[in-house]
Structure 1
């Protein structure tokens, strides 16, 4: 964060706080889906828990934005009372590293939809590997575990990548992001 501007830190922090609340709000939805479909139920909406990392990276275009936003969101979620406790912060870090890895692959030069979707997929893969050991997926059948992973990856691509881009683009169109990388990109496209 050495070369970050104060406004970038403020936006990253604000997004993290907002999405910590969103994450908490989606826990009952996950529990309902899990009650209906078993452990795989959470995977249908798991992409929601990666979305801040994709939105923050897409808006700010800074190395570390995905990791930091997800880590801060997880920390806020714990402070707001998530029953998972401090271990959730490690989960947030793992998810953030997954998303961050996709942006690092492009050397932080590409923020096209395909990269945002890849970031959602990578967050899903990293979180799944972490969850495999944390949540005892080894006790489930191999086919079921594979289905969980595939559904989580699709959720990461669509909810975090596609929907995350739509949310950030919508914010940018309002003009509130005009001094950020995404806002500047939008202005260039309009001028062309």
Structure 2
């Protein structure tokens, strides 16, 4: 983080705190879906728990933004009362690594919608592998497990990738991110058109 600016650290941290609260707020929604659909219920909205990693990386565009923002958000979620306790921090780190892998694969040079969606898919895959061993998915049938993974990957792509991009672009268009990489890109695109 030696090449990070203070404002980037602050924005990433603020985003992480906000989404740590959002993550905690979505737990009852997930529990409702599980009560209606079974274990697969969470997978429909699982992308919400990856979104800060996509938003922070897209705005800041520096190595570690996805991982750090997700880790901080999970820590905030734990401090606010997530019943999982400290293990949620490891979960956040794993999700952040999954998103980070997509940005690292482009050497932190590409932030198109497709890369953002791949980051959401990466977070989904990493989190699913972690959940597979931690949550007893082995007791479920193979087709059900595959369905869970596919739905979680779609959720990661759509909720974290697409909606994360939409939120970030909307923020950038207001001008509040004008001194960040995304804000500069939006300004450049406006001057060309």
TM-score (normalizing by structure 2)? 0.99
Alignment of 1:153-164 (within 5 A): 153-164=153-164
- Structure 2 regions of 5+ residues with no counterpart? none
Q: Does residue 122 of the first structure (1) align with residue 122 of the second (2)?
A: yes
Give the equivalent residue in structure 1 for 2:147: 147
Alignment of 1:10-159 (within 5 A): 10-159=10-159
User: 2:80 and 2:29 mapped to 1: Cα distance?
Assistant: 18
* 1:112-139 deviation line (CA, Å, top 9, x unaligned): 0000000000000000000000100000
Give the equivalent residue in structure 1 for 2:8: 8
* 1:23-55 deviation line (CA, Å, top 9, x unaligned): 011000000000000000000000000000000
User: 1:24 and 1:175 mapped to 2: Cα distance?
Assistant: 29
4+ residue stretches of structure 1 with deviation over 6 A?
A: none
Q: Secondary structure at the match of 1:147?
A: helix
Q: Secondary structure at the match of 1:184?
A: helix
- Structure 1 regions of 5+ residues with no counterpart? none
Q: Secondary structure at the match of 1:177?
A: coil
Tell me by how many angstroms 1:83 deviates.
0.5
